[in-house]
């Protein structure tokens, strides 16, 4: 669920910055796919470790959770949700009448530029 929120938040940020729905979805997937894949890989490895247990119940739980996380991360979060958003186009941004009050626009969460070193005051000399 958290990863889906990250994907949707990134999509909304890109769309608010002026990208079309397809471009916003593509950029959001581009920026979040590595996080999804790495997190899913960690969970799959950890839950697969339960399969090495001597108890049958832990083996079943470990393998089933590993398969469920893998399917969820790859098929649902990285393929199905972005594809559905790309197909829906402008319908993604529709709000029902009752909730169509002004919604605050999201701010970019990344800095536009990194701060550099502060300039030295002019006229001062450094001792060597």
Quick: pLDDT tens for 106-115: 666 665 565 6
- Record the pTM: 0.64
> Are the beta carbons of 62 and 46 closer than 8 angstroms?
no
Mean pLDDT over each residue of the chain, to the nearest integer? 81
3-state secondary structure 16-36: HCCCCHHHHHHHHHHHHHHHH
> Are the beta carbons of 15 and 24 closer than 8 angstroms?
yes
Q: In the predicted model, what is the mean pLDDT of residues 56-85?
A: 89
| pLDDT(124) > 60 | no
pLDDT of residue 64: 92
Closest CA to 9 of 113, 107, 112, 84: 107
């Amino acid at each position: 669920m958290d990863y889906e929120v990250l994907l949707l938040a990134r999509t909304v940020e890109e769309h608010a910055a002026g990208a079309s729905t397809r471009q916003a979805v593509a950029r959001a997937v581009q920026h979040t796919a590595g996080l999804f894949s790495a997190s899913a890989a960690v969970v799959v490895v950890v839950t697969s470790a339960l399969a090495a247990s001597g108890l049958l119940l832990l083996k079943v739980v470990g393998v089933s959770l590993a398969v469920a996380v893998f399917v969820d991360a790859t098929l649902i979060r990285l393929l199905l949700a972005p594809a559905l958003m790309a197909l829906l186009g402008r319908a993604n941004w529709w709000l029902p009448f009752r909730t169509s009050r002004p919604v605050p626009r999201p701010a970019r969460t990344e800095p536009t530029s990194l701060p550099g070193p502060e300039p030295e005051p002019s006229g001062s000399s450094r001792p060597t």
